[in-house]
Amino acid sequence: MKIILFGPPGAGKGTQASLIQKQFDIPHLSTGNIFREAIKNETELGKKVKKILDAGDLVPDHVVVDLVAEELEKDHYANGYILDGFPRTVSQAESFDQLLKSKKQNLDAFIFLKVPEEELVKRILARGEGRSDDTEEGVRKRLAVYEKETKPVKEYYEENDIVFEVDGTGTVDQIFARIRALLEN
């Protein structure tokens, strides 16, 4: 199963991806985790990404696509994966589709976690990841960038009839039950 788990910052993508991973034994690929690891290890990519993220901007498409393509070459992704945090732009989605076509593969599901903005702000401020933009103003800026640059990815995939909207409110278990029911069908 090849799945994209999609939604705004704070929607719970990472949490739900971990539960899907355990339930269906599918590896989870989070570009955010790859970037955080690079930042923590102060690699060249990490330093570059930190500067971009601290400004509240998105990492350039070519950097992200190359990173994901390289990661997906690893054997443990051969039977499927959950992508979380990718693609973030239509350009990334188009490049990813080309990658899949070159490997004669298809995406099975694009799961969109739908959560109201006020709930997103509350969640992000409560989790306190220590990002320099974890202020109400910074969070709202990230959500505005998402609306402008990332949400169009959902519209791009809607043309392929693989988009499934899931109510992302409620408890972690309630949200996961909705996703699990969708994937089991």
**Could you tell me the CATH number of the domain that includes residue 84?**
3.40.50.300
Per-residue pLDDT tens for 9-53? 999 999 999 999 999 999 999 887 777 877 888 888 788 888 888
- Measuring CA to CA, which residue among 98, 43, 44 is closest to residue 68? 98
- Measuring CA to CA, which residue among 94, 95, 112 is closest to residue 167? 112
Output the average pLDDT for the chain. 90
Percent of the chain whose pLDDT exceeds 90? 62
Catalytic pick from 2, 142, 154, 178? Answer: 142
Catalytic pick from 2, 50, 88, 178? Answer: 88
Catalytic pick from 2, 13, 50, 154? Answer: 13
Average pLDDT for residues 159-185, to the nearest whole number?
Answer: 95
Is the residue at 185 inside a domain?
A: no
Is the residue at 68 inside a domain?
A: yes
Domains held by the chain: number: 1
Active site residue 131: yes
Average pLDDT for residues 62-85, to the nearest whole number?
Answer: 87
CB burial string 24-36: b at 16+ within 10 A, e below:
eebbbbbbbebbb
Active site residue 142: yes
Is the residue at 129 inside a domain?
A: yes
Active site residue 140: no
Active site residue 178: no
Active site residue 13: yes
Is the residue at 31 inside a domain?
A: yes
State the pLDDT at residue 64.
Answer: 86
Domain interval for residue 102: 2-180
Catalytic pick from 131, 140, 151, 180? Answer: 131
Is the residue at 10 inside a domain?
A: yes
